[in-house]
C-alpha cells in the first residue's frame, strides 16, 4: 500500500493512466532580431491566454465559477506588467523567449517557494504551470489529452496542474494520485470540487505504478492499494457505495435551515483558525463562525502581529462571511498552546497557570491592540468578541472595561466600529460552570468549550491516555455542568452555543437540544452531518432521552443507552 495525503474524500477503483511529463528542453540561443522575438513571445502569451480562457470556461461548466477563477488567475499573472516587463527586458538583452520566460518564472517560483506559507507556495505551483504552458507553446509541444482518458481511469501524475484539471471528465476519472501537493493546493481544491477521490504527495508514485494496473484510491484516508486482491476490491466497492449514499444524503441538507424534526431552528456555525478557513466554513454551508481561534495568527512567527495585521485578518474573515456572524476568541495561549517569542516562563502546571484571559489582562497593551483590531473589523460585518478561560466575574468585567477603553480610543481617532458589539464568555472551566448564573447577568452570550470543560471538570488531561477513560462529555458531572450553563444562560435570556468537539457528537446532540442550546459550532466537514443529526429529533423526543440520561449514574450506562437510541 502507498501512503499520501487524503485530499479529496471517497473511494476510487480503477486502472492507472500515467501522465508522463512532456519534455520542455530547449537550447538557449542568442537572438539578433529582438523585435521578431518579442512578437514571438507576445503571440505565445496570447495563445496561452486564449487556451487558458477556454480551459477556464470548461471548468466553469463542469465545476463552477470559483474553480474557474483559479485558471483565470494564471492570465492575470502572465499579463502582470512587472513579470512581462522583466521577461521582455531579457529578450531585449538578446535572450531567446524560452530562456527569458524560464528564468523570470524560476525567479518567482524560488521566491514563492521559500516562504513556507501554504498559500504563497501555491503561487509557485501556478507560476510553474504558466511557465510550462508558455514554453510548451513556444516549442510547439502537443498537450497531453487527459480528456481522452477512458472510463474508470485513475490519473497518476507528478504534479496535477490546474490546466490539466480542466481536461478531466468527471464521468471517466475515478481517482487522482500525485507526487506533490497538500490539502490546500489548487489541485486538491479542484479534485474536491469535482468530487474525485484524490491522494496527493505519494512519493515516487509515477515510478511505483504502471499503466493499466488496478488500484484503489482511498481519498478519505490517503491510501493507495496497489494490485488489490479480489476480496479487497469487494470490500472497497461496498465502502464506496456507502460513502456515495452518505454523501447524497448529506448533500440533501445543503442550503436547508438547521432544524429539529418539529421545525424548531438552531444555529449551525463553524470553528476556524485562519481567515482562509472562513471560505471553508461558507463552502461547508456553515451559517457563521462560532469560534475563530486567533492564536494561529500569533504562531509560526517571531513577533506579535500588529494591530493592522490583525485587523486585516479579522476583516478578511468577516468579508468572506458576507454578514454572517463571526465570533472572535481573544488570544488563548498557554496550556498546550505555546508561542515561543512571548517568553512565557515554564510552569509546573501550565493548564492551571498563567494563560489565556489571565495572561491577556496582565499584558494590556497587547490585549488592547487585539481588541482594537477586532473592533475596527466590526465595522465590516457581524463580529462578536469572546473571552476564553473565564473563571471569575472580575475577569469578564476587566475585559469588558478594556473593550470600552478601546472603543473610546477609536472614537477619539474617528475610526468606525460596532458600538453594540457583543461580548461573550467561553464557558470552559469548572468555575465558569458553577458561577454561570452570575456570569450570565453580565455576558452577552455563552459558548461552551467542552474540550477544556471536560478536562477541568473531570481533572483529567485531554492528552493523557492513562486518564482518557475519564475524559468524556458523557460523564454525569460534565453533562450536569453543560446543562447548568445552558439553563443559566437561557434564564438570563442570552444565547448559549457550544464550540467544543462535543457539539458534533451524535450522542450529545439530542441532549443539547433538550437542554436548550441555541447554537452548534463545529468543524467545517461536520456541518451537514450535524444538521442531519439535529433533524432526527423533535424537542419532545430529545427531552425524553435527556430525562433518562440525567437519571443515570455512570458514563458507561449513559453511553450504552445512547448507543441503543441513536
Ligand atoms: C474548548 O476548549 O472546547 C475549545 C473549543 O477551545 P480549544 O479547543 O481551542 O481549547
Ligand atoms: Mg479551550
- Rg of the Cα atoms in the chain: 27
- Stretch(es) of the chain classified as CATH 3.50.30.10: 2-20+145-231
Q: State the Cα–Cα distance between residues 127 and 19, nearest whole angstrom.
A: 20
74 annotated active-site: no
What Å distances lie between residue 161 and 166, 188, 236, CA to CA?
A: 9, 10, 28
3-state secondary structure of 271: strand
Q: Is 428 in the pocket of ligand 1 (CB under 6 A)?
A: yes
In this structure, which ligand is nearest to the CA of 500? 1
Q: State the Cα–Cα distance between residues 153 and 556, nearest whole angstrom.
A: 47
Q: Give residue-wise pLDDT tens across range 306-320.
A: 999 999 999 999 999
Q: Per the structure block, which three cell numbers stand in for 296?
A: 494561529
- Stretch(es) of the chain classified as CATH 1.10.274.10: 34-139
Q: State the Cα–Cα distance between residues 158 and 77, nearest whole angstrom.
A: 23
Q: Per the structure block, which three cell numbers stand in for 266?
A: 438552531
Ligand 1 atom having least distance to the Cα of 449: 3
Tell me if the pTM is above 0.85. Answer: no
186 annotated active-site: yes
Q: Is 295 in the pocket of ligand 1 (CB under 6 A)?
A: no
* 3 closest CA partner among 289, 205, 298, 248: 205
**Most confident by average pLDDT, 147-156, 337-346, 427-436:** 427-436
Catalytic residue among 49, 483, 488, 499: 499
* CB under 5 Å of ion ligand 2: residues: 428, 449, 452
Instruction: Scan for cell 484571559, then name that residue.
Output: 357
- Tell me which residue has its CA closest to atom 3 in ligand 1: 449
Give mean pLDDT, residues 99-116: 90
Ligand 1 atom having least distance to the Cα of 295: 9
DSSP of 18-72, one letter per residue? EEPPPP------B-S-HHHHHHHHHHHHHHHHHHHHHHHHHHHHHT-HHHHHHHH
- Tell me which residue has its CA closest to atom 1 in ligand 1: 449
Q: What is the best residue among 272, 293, 471, 526 to mutate for testing ligand 1's pocket, by most ligand atoms within 8 Å of CB?
A: 293
Q: Is 320 in the pocket of ligand 1 (CB under 6 A)?
A: no
Of the options 3.60.15.10, 3.50.30.10, 3.30.470.20, 1.10.472.10, the CATH number for the domain spanning 2-20+145-231:
3.50.30.10
* 121 closest CA partner among 180, 63, 164, 48: 180
Share of the chain above pLDDT 90, in %: 77
With b for 16 or more beta-carbon neighbours within 10 A and e for fewer, the 421-460 pattern comes to: bbbbbbbbbbbbbbbbeebbeebbbbbbbbbbbbbbbbeb
Res. 163: pLDDT tops 90 = no
Class of 34-139 per CATH? Answer: mainly alpha
Question: How high is the pLDDT of residue 180?
Answer: 87
| Phi, psi values for residue 333, rounded to 5° | -105, 175
Distance 122 CA to ligand 2 centre (A): 31
Quick one: CATH architecture of 264-565? Alpha-Beta Barrel (3.20)
Ligand 1 atom having least distance to the Cα of 448: 3
Question: How high is the pLDDT of residue 124?
Answer: 87
Give mean pLDDT, residues 508-525: 97
> Quick one: pLDDT band at residue 51, thresholds 50, 70, 90?
confident
Amino acid at each position: 500500500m502507498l501512503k499520501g495525503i487524503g485530499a479529496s474524500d471517497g473511494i476510487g477503483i480503477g486502472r492507472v493512466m500515467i501522465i508522463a511529463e512532456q519534455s520542455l528542453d530547449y537550447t538557449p540561443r542568442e537572438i539578433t532580431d529582438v523585435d521578431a522575438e518579442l512578437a514571438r513571445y507576445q503571440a505565445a502569451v496570447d495563445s496561452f491566454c486564449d487556451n487558458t480562457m477556454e480551459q477556464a470556461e470548461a471548468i466553469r461548466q463542469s465545476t463552477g465559477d470559483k474553480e474557474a477563477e483559479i485558471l483565470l488567475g494564471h492570465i492575470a499573472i502572465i499579463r502582470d506588467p512587472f513579470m512581462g516587463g522583466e521577461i521582455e527586458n531579457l529578450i531585449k538583452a538578446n535572450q531567446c523567449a524560452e530562456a527569458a520566460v524560464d528564468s523570470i518564472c524560476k525567479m518567482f517560483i524560488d521566491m514563492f517557494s521559500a516562504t513556507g506559507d501554504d498559500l504563497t507556495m501555491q503561487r509557485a505551483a501556478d507560476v510553474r504551470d504558466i511557465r510550462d504552458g508558455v514554453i510548451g507553446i513556444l516549442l510547439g509541444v502537443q498537450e497531453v489529452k487527459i480528456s481522452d482518458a477512458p472510463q474508470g481511469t485513475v490519473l497518476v501524475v507528478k504534479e496535477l496542474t490546474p490546466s490539466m484539471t480542466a481536461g478531466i471528465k468527471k464521468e471517466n476519472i475515478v481517482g487522482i494520485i500525485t507526487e506533490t501537493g497538500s490539502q490546500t493546493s489548487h489541485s486538491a481544491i479542484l479534485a474536491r470540487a469535482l468530487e474525485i477521490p484524490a491522494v496527493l504527495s505519494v512519493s515516487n508514485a509515477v515510478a511505483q505504478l504502471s499503466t493499466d494496473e488496478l488500484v484503489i484510491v482511498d481519498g478519505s484516508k490517503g491510501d493507495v492499494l496497489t494490485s488489490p486482491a479480489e476480496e479487497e476490491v469487494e470490500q472497497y466497492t461496498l465502502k464506496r457505495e456507502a460513502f456515495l449514499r452518505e454523501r447524497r444524503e448529506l448533500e440533501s441538507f445543503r442550503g436547508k435551515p438547521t432544524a429539529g424534526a418539529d421545525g424548531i431552528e438552531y444555529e449551525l456555525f463553524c470553528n476556524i483558525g485562519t481567515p482562509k478557513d472562513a471560505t471553508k466554513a461558507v463552502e461547508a454551508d456553515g451559517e457563521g463562525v462560532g469560534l475563530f481561534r486567533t492564536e494561529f495568527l500569533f504562531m509560526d512567527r517571531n513577533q506579535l502581529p500588529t494591530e493592522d495585521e490583525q485587523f486585516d485578518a479579522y476583516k478578511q474573515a468577516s468579508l468572506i462571511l458576507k454578514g454572517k456572524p463571526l465570533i472572535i476568541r481573544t488570544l488563548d495561549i498557554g496550556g498546550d498552546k505555546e508561542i515561543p517569542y512571548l517568553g512565557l516562563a515554564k510552569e509546573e502546571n501550565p493548564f492551571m497557570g498563567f494563560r489565556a484571559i489571565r495572561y491577556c489582562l496582565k499584558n494590556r497593551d497587547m490585549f488592547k491592540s487585539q481588541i482594537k483590531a477586532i473592533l475596527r473589523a466590526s465595522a465590516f460585518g457581524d463580529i462578536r468578541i469572546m473571552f476564553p478561560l473565564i473563571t471569575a466575574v472580575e475577569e469578564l468585567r476587566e475585559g469588558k472595561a478594556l473593550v470600552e477603553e478601546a472603543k473610546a480610543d477609536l472614537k477619539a481617532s474617528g475610526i468606525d466600529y460596532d458600538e453594540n458589539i457583543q461580548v461573550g464568555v467561553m464557558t470552559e472551566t469548572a468555575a465558569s460552570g458553577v458561577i454561570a448564573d452570575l456570569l450570565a447577568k453580565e455576558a452577552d452570550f455563552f459558548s461552551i468549550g467542552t474540550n477544556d470543560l471536560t478536562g477541568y471538570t473531570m481533572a483529567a488531561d485531554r492528552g493523557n491516555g492513562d486518564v482518557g477513560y475519564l475524559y468524556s462529555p458523557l460523564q454525569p458531572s460534565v453533562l450536569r455542568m453543560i446543562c447548568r450553563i445552558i439553563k443559566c444562560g437561557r434564564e438570563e435570556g442570552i444565547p448559549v452555543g457550544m464550540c467544543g468537539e462535543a457539539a458534533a457528537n451524535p450522542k450529545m446532540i439530542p441532549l443539547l437540544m433538550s437542554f436548550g442550546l441555541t447554537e452548534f459550532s463545529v468543524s467545517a466537514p461536520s456541518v451537514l452531518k450535524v444538521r442531519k443529526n439535529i433533524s432526527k429529533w423533535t424537542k419532545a423526543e430529545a427531552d425524553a432521552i435527556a430525562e433518562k440520561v440525567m437519571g443515570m449514574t455512570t458514563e458507561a450506562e449513559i453511553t450504552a443507552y445512547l448507543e441503543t437510541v441513536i
